[in-house]
Amino acid sequence: MKAAIRQMALDRGFDDCRFTTAAPPPHQAALQTWLATGQNGEMAWLARNADKRLDPQLVLPGARTIITLATSYAGPSADQPPAPASGVVARYARHADYHDVLAPRLRTLSDQLNHLGGPDTRSLWYVDTGPLLERDLAQRAGLGFAGKHTNLISRRLGNWFFLSEIITTLALEPDPPERNHCGTCTRCLTACPTQAITAPFQLDARRCISYLTIELKGAIPVPLRPAIGNRIYGCDDCLAACPWNRFAQTGRLMQAHTRPDLAQPDLLELLRLDAAAFKARFAGSPIVRTKRRGLLRNVCVALGNTGTPAALPELTRATHDPDPLIAEHAHWALTQIVCRSAPA
């Protein structure tokens, strides 16, 4: 039955499919310590459902198996020379929202699993949406291993893939776990612009650029703004530094959902977006998560770090934006460019 399920997953565009038990994940204590020290920042939902993350039986009583799936988003268009006055969007977000792409496939696969298991089989599917410690479970299933940057690495797919899961009451033989293959490499620690990777396998989300530009809803701390550079949604630096990417395969499924317009968006064009234009521009993209205020906050920081005097008129206009978050960051950016352009 495992072989049939794996083939069904591959037929639906998933790039890997592995199986593990529904026993508690091995790094329960590490999660509890991480939460207790506040390193999750404003991501309070991680603490609210921590009990479920520590015990899959609280997610689905009677669960026997967790199926972990990988979907590659690697592609040849990921590495392009930077365009002038452009922003950088994390590679995963240069596609249609992966939740929308993967959800119907997971739903179908889950229904087929219930059919195979019989009338008493129950299954739940998640794509980065459920209270599961998914990287722990994926490593135990042999899908990959947690790198020193705390993300999952696959020896077949590198760092560029999404995780999703199906938790089920159907009993299936688990696959052997993957062991760590980082060795002595510390490239990801060196690559992090904000030193958010405080030690191997330890991440302080409050310093992570992905957190600062996506999850953080308020002002970006001033001392961290210069390190953000021209990144306006997420950061790939620690992932891109990993030598396992030499084995990355172009994603079969996500390649068809690439958004070329998000590869190198023009910062000044983005700064001009009103609410309606923002929704139209980013419909179906993960970037809608930040809302207009979050994205334009990030755009202002990027302009403050990389902009030229040509950006001053638009930034001046943005200092009068009705949203005080945008206005404050625009004023900061304006000051940065003026100081940088002043004669020595």
DSSP assignment string, 49-85:
THHHHH-GGGTSTT--EEEEEEEE-B-GGG--PPPTT
Q: Which residues of 22-50 are buried (b: 16+ CB within 10 A; e: fewer)?
A: bebbebeeebeebbeeebbbeeeebbeeb
Active site residue 128: yes
Q: 128, 236, 266, 274: which one is catalytic? A: 128
Residue 77 in this model has a pLDDT that exceeds 60: no
Complete domains list, the chain, with CATH? 2-80+96-168 (no CATH), 266-344 (1.25.10)
pLDDT at 138: 98
Q: What is the DSSP letter of 266?
A: B
Residue 328 in this model has a pLDDT that exceeds 80: yes
Q: Which residues of 185-194 are buried (b: 16+ CB within 10 A; e: fewer)?
A: bebbbebbbb
Percent of the chain with pLDDT over 70: 98
In angstroms, the CA 4 to CA 302 distance is 48
Tens of pLDDT, residues 265-289: 999 999 999 999 999 999 999 999 9
Confidence band of 79 (pLDDT split at 50, 70, 90): low
Please say whether the beta carbons of 46 and 54 come within 8 A: no
Confidence band of 145 (pLDDT split at 50, 70, 90): very high
Confidence band of 219 (pLDDT split at 50, 70, 90): very high
In angstroms, the CA 125 to CA 157 distance is 22
> Under the phi-then-psi rule, with left for phi > 0, alpha for psi from -120 to 50, and beta for the rest, what region is 280?
alpha
CB atoms closer than 10 angstroms to residue 51: 11
pLDDT at 253: 95
Q: What are 335's two structure tokens? A: 């000051």
Give CA 181 to chain center in angstroms: 22
In angstroms, the CA 148 to CA 276 distance is 41
Pairing of strands 65-72, 197-199: unpaired
74-78, 133-137, 310-314, 337-341: range with lowest mean pLDDT: 74-78
Residue 78 in this model has a pLDDT that exceeds 60: no
Confidence band of 81 (pLDDT split at 50, 70, 90): low
Tens of pLDDT, residues 110-134: 999 999 999 999 999 999 889 999 9
Residue range 82-87: mean pLDDT, rounded: 83
Average pLDDT for the chain = 95
Please say whether the beta carbons of 86 and 264 come within 8 A: yes
Backbone angles phi, psi at 153, to 5 degrees: -120, 135
Residue 42 in this model has a pLDDT that exceeds 90: yes
Residue range 24-37: mean pLDDT, rounded: 93
Percent of the chain with pLDDT over 90: 91
DSSP assignment string, 170-206:
S--PPPPPPPP--TT--HHHHH-TT--EEETTEE-GG
Please say whether the beta carbons of 255 and 163 come within 8 A: no
Backbone angles phi, psi at 192, to 5 degrees: -65, 120
Please say whether the beta carbons of 271 and 303 come within 8 A: yes
Q: H or E element: which one contains 5?
A: helix 2-11
pLDDT at 343: 76
pTM for the model: 0.94
Residue range 68-74: mean pLDDT, rounded: 97
In angstroms, the CA 21 to CA 167 distance is 9
Residue 344 in this model has a pLDDT that exceeds 70: no
Confidence band of 341 (pLDDT split at 50, 70, 90): confident
Q: H or E element: which one contains 19?
A: strand 16-21
Q: What are 67's two structure tokens? A: 């199926």
Please say whether the beta carbons of 290 and 296 come within 8 A: no
Tens of pLDDT, residues 284-317: 999 999 999 999 999 999 999 999 999 999 999 9
